Amino acid sequence: MILYTPLAETDIFPHEAGENVNRECINYNGKQVFVEKNKDGSYQLLQLLSTDPQDFLDDNYSPGTIIN
């Protein structure tokens, strides 16, 4: 099925209520990032929130990066 919409997939198909408990938006090195807190207290980067295309070329902000 193809949906032609400006909305995000999560706006159309919401996740379960308890699924996003460990997720939050933080400021990391001056950039807004969406992270998930691991059991050891570190964070795993899920998404970079930026309007600058050059930010996405920086390996420090790639999804899956562990932030202490």
The CA-based diameter of the chain, rounded to the nearest angstrom, is: 40
Report the C-alpha gap between 45 and 20 in whole angstroms: 14
Confirm if 64 and 34 have CB atoms less than 8 A apart: no
Cα 27 from chain centroid (whole Å)? 12
CA distances from residue 66 to 37, 43, 53 in whole angstroms, order as listed: 10, 6, 22
Give the model confidence (pLDDT) of 40-66 as tens digits: 999 999 999 999 999 999 999 999 999
Mean pLDDT of 2-19: 76
Confirm if 49 and 43 have CB atoms less than 8 A apart: no
Sequence ranges of the domains in the chain: 21-67
Q: What is the pTM of this model?
A: 0.68
